[in-house]
């Protein structure tokens, strides 16, 4: 169940010139998801230290995020925040599935948790997930049961905007399939903070509303298919080395 999907979001916008498409990964499924048994992306060259990644999705997101986590390499040593529109009672099991299928230690976020490199936190259903501080390559998390944003709680925008305001480490924001415009303002905030921004492409998005609205802002750096998002995240933080071609 994905729950709490927001209505709205045109699907007719063309990708702006600024955006570039990440190629599909050879040997990986070309459909909306990845083939079973996908292996983590290889990290060639040097990567930036202790990067932070925020991934947001709604309708159609859980399976694609699971597959993304299968390919997210531990060698990246990222701190990952996941905001999937889900009601309470579902996000803990979602976090358990991500933990089982990835090289990252994944758990549902709790108030005042500290998130270290190689760890991921899933926003609990029914509350917003924020970053309260970024000290010594660790993020202190905060949960907020305030007003819904775009009709949802957790909101992608709330998490991304708090990250943009408080995270000093290298940063990447990712928006994936879903209805509505939650995440568009967050992508703008991450872009303004100097972070890299990624949106899932229309062809592999079960619902293109969220990525489309983000792309419309003109603040998306890379538009990638579902099976190219993990590669795009790694590329965003790779400062040396050659791309595999």
Residues serving a catalytic function are 58, 85, 182
- DSSP code for 219: -
Q: What is the separation, in whole angstroms, between the first and last Cα of the chain?
A: 38
Closest CA to 152 of 121, 129, 122: 129
Closest CA to 236 of 171, 164, 139, 169: 171
Phi-psi label, residue 210: left if phi above 0, alpha if psi -120 to 50, beta otherwise? alpha
Q: Which residue carries 């872009």 as its tokens?
A: 191
Phi-psi label, residue 89: left if phi above 0, alpha if psi -120 to 50, beta otherwise? left
Helix axes 184-192, 209-216, angle to 10 degrees: 40
Q: How far apart are CA 171 and CA 53, in angstroms?
A: 6
Phi and psi dihedrals of 239, rounded to 5?
-105, -10
């Amino acid at each position: 169940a994905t729950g709490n999907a927001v209505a709205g979001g045109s699907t007719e916008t063309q990708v702006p010139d600024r955006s570039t498409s990440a190629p599909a990964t050879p040997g990986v499924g070309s459909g909306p998801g990845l083939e079973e048994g996908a292996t983590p992306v290889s990290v060639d060259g040097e990567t930036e230290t202790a990067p932070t990644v925020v991934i947001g999705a709604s309708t159609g997101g859980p399976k694609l995020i699971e597959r993304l986590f299968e390919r997210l390499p531990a060698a990246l040593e990222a701190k990952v925040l996941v905001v999937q529109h889900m009601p309470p009672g579902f996000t803990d099991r979602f976090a358990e599935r991500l933990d089982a299928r990835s090289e990252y230690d994944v758990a549902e976020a709790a108030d005042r948790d500290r998130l270290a490199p190689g760890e991921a936190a899933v926003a609990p259903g029914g509350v917003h997930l924020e970053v309260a501080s970024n000290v010594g390559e660790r993020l202190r998390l905060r949960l907020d049961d305030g007003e819904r944003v775009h009709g949802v709680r957790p909101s992608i925008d709330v998490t991304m905007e708090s990250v943009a305001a408080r995270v000093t480490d290298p940063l990447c924001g990712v928006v994936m399939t879903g209805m509505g415009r939650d995440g568009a303002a967050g992508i703008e905030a991450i872009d303004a903070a100097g972070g890299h921004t990624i949106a899932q492409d229309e062809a592999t998005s079960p619902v293109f509303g969220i990525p489309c609205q983000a792309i419309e802002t003109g603040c998306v750096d890379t538009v990638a298919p579902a099976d190219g998002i993990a590669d795009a995240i790694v590329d965003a933080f790779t400062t040396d080395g050659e791309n595999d071609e």
